[in-house]
Amino acid sequence: MCQLLGMNSLKPARLSFSLEGFLRRGGETDEHADGWGIALYEDRRCQLLIDELPSARSPLAEWIQLYSGRSRNVIAHIRKATQGSISATNCHPFLRHLWGQEWSFAHNGNLDVSKLPAPVCFTPCGQTDSEHAFCLLLDGLFSRFGRQAPGLAQLSQTLAELARLIAAAGSFNFVLSNGEWLFTHRSTELHYLQRAYPFGRAHLLDCPLGIDFSRHNEQDDRMIIVATRPLTDEHWQPLPVGELAVFAEGRRVAC
Amino acid sequence: MCQLLGMNSLKPARLSFSLEGFLRRGGETDEHADGWGIALYEDRRCQLLIDELPSARSPLAEWIQLYSGRSRNVIAHIRKATQGSISATNCHPFLRHLWGQEWSFAHNGNLDVSKLPAPVCFTPCGQTDSEHAFCLLLDGLFSRFGRQAPGLAQLSQTLAELARLIAAAGSFNFVLSNGEWLFTHRSTELHYLQRAYPFGRAHLLDCPLGIDFSRHNEQDDRMIIVATRPLTDEHWQPLPVGELAVFAEGRRVAC
């Protein structure tokens, strides 16, 4: 199986601390060593970076930690291959364009694609069940809304319906973003955390590294972190099973 | 204006030497300092990297020179902004998906978009004439061939027709790839070069750097380099004005 990470922040922010712990699970503190990827939204543009190397030993990961800019939304994924060969084509996140927006998606779980329809407008480049499901989500949005992007409420409702249909074919934990909003769905395992004022201290669970967020944040900073398994000793909450969750401007919103 | 670089190689290869000279034109030996980008095809998967910084001073450029893998196709672009703000969203190459293929595109020149139709299926994320034109090319391909990818001959013929139509709205030098083939179109300035056995020596025009390609290549290596202006003291040839050129497996092919 794989692990997921997502961020949605009110203001552009760097994910360095949580990312540090997450990337170590790619071949160092855990077994997810079949490649990794990250989608960093600088403004609404998605910088998608993929590496077949284990994230714990990836020069690209080092480069991101040193040089990447601040983002309002981030999606990252470390892979333990179950369907599809070990290649960059099969690494998450996947990217597609819809309504002049760049959509990125990463999945954890296994889907029986023989139980799913074939995507029509959005077609996969690789062999994974995950990219297949992503294409089905976008197909469903395009078929429902055509060329006009809907508002958040309509979008969330349709995504929830589509996610339910796809989740019937197996296990469907995902993180999805268009650079403005972060959507998640939990079948088996997915947690989230809000960091907001008053900021406190935190320690990574994967390595002896701590941080005092009150020294790095202002009073009006606010962000959500989503991860398959908690990354720190903060107050992580499990997301409800079988539901879509929606995050905007650094908080969870009703959908 | 901007400058373009393209590579099409029979075998996976690194473009380090030519890229070194090209990237210096982004703010050091020339004025193209409003961002840059590169699409590197590792197998058929496109790693698209964009940076708003001038390429001559970009840590990402350094990272690519040190760590990127070998590619069969590459497209790169250094930008001097004419239409659209200086932002990552407006940096080339642009990326879209069609027929399970990842298409990347970079443009040099100015198009009067008021003389062009609005793209229908493929819509721009940014404000440039270039992304508009790219979306029109893909719209045209999708409208002509539907969901089934054509062979090279049909594809080239249609691209040539589409390029001619769009070029009527201004200046349309471009490089385009789907990870297998490289297509170019020249309105004003575009050159190409084939490197093949017997390999010789070359010197960059932008800095005092030379290479003996016979020491770095095997007898059956073969590649094409396309650039707005020659990068080395090798035998560069201008491409014909107003024509689409097609490159496959490291050589120019009739279209």
CATH number reported for the structural domain that contains residue B217 in this entry: 3.60.20.10
Cβ A222 vs Cβ A165: under 8 Å: no
**Is the model more confident about A213 or about B83?**
A213
Q: What is the pLDDT averaged over residues B249-255?
A: 92
The length of chain B is: 255
**With bands split at pLDDT 50, 70 and 90, how would you rate the model's confidence at A8?**
very high
Residues of A in contact with B99 (CB under 8 A): 123
| A2: annotated active-site residue | yes
Q: Which range in A1-15, B36-50, B133-147 is most confidently predicted, on average pLDDT?
A: B133-147
Question: What distances in angstroms separate CA B35 from CA A14, A101, B32, B107, one per listed residue?
Answer: 21, 21, 8, 14
CA distance B48 to B26: 18
Contact: A45, B101; criterion CB under 8 Å: no
CA distance A198 to B255: 65
Return phi, psi of residue A166, to 5°. -70, -40
Residue A2: HSE in the Cβ half-sphere, 13 Å Cα cutoff: 33
Owning domain of residue B135: 3-253
Contact: A125, B100; criterion CB under 8 Å: yes
Report residue B179 CA to chain centroid gap: 11
Q: Is pLDDT at A33 greater than 80 in this prediction?
A: no
Report residue A171 CA to chain centroid gap: 16
Q: Which of A70, A123, A131 to mutate to test the interface with B (most CBs of B within 10 A)?
A: A123
Q: Is pLDDT at B48 greater than 90 in this prediction?
A: yes
B149-206 pLDDT, tens digit each: 999 999 999 999 999 999 999 999 999 999 999 999 999 999 999 999 999 999 988 8
Q: Is pLDDT at A61 greater than 90 in this prediction?
A: no
Q: Is pLDDT at A223 greater than 90 in this prediction?
A: yes
Residues of A in contact with B49 (CB under 8 A): 47, 49
Residues of B in contact with A122 (CB under 8 A): 97
Side chain identity at residue B191, one-letter code: H
Residues of A in contact with B44 (CB under 8 A): 89, 125
Q: What is the pLDDT averaged over residues B3-19?
A: 92
Q: Nearest residue of B to residue A51 by CA position?
A: B47
Q: What is the pLDDT averaged over residues B49-72?
A: 86
Contact: A123, B97; criterion CB under 8 Å: yes
Residues of A in contact with B95 (CB under 8 A): 95
Spatial neighbors of A61 by CB under 8 A, at least 6 apart, are A23, A36, A51, A55
Contact: B50, A45; criterion CB under 8 Å: yes
**Number of C-beta neighbours around residue B147 at 10 A:** 11
Question: What distances in angstroms separate CA A145 from CA A141, B5, B146, one per listed residue?
Answer: 6, 38, 21
CA angle (B172 as vertex; B171, B173 as ends), nearest 5: 115
Q: Which of A38, A43, A89 to mutate to test the interface with B (most CBs of B within 10 A)?
A: A89
Identify the contact set of chain B against chain A, taking CB-CB distances under 8 A: 42-45, 47-50, 59-60, 63, 66-67, 87-89, 95-97, 99-102, 120, 122-126, 147
CA distance B154 to B118: 24
Indicate which residue of B2, B46, B91, B255 is catalytic: B2
Q: What is the pLDDT averaged over residues B233-251?
A: 97
Contact: A45, B95; criterion CB under 8 Å: no
> Number of structural domains, chain A?
1
**Is the model more confident about B1 or about A106?**
A106
Average pLDDT of the residues of chain A: 92
Q: Is pLDDT at A114 greater than 80 in this prediction?
A: yes
Chain A: give the shortest CA distance to residue B101, in Å: 6
Chain A: give the shortest CA distance to residue B49, in Å: 7
Least confident among A107-116, A146-155, B48-57, B60-69:
B60-69
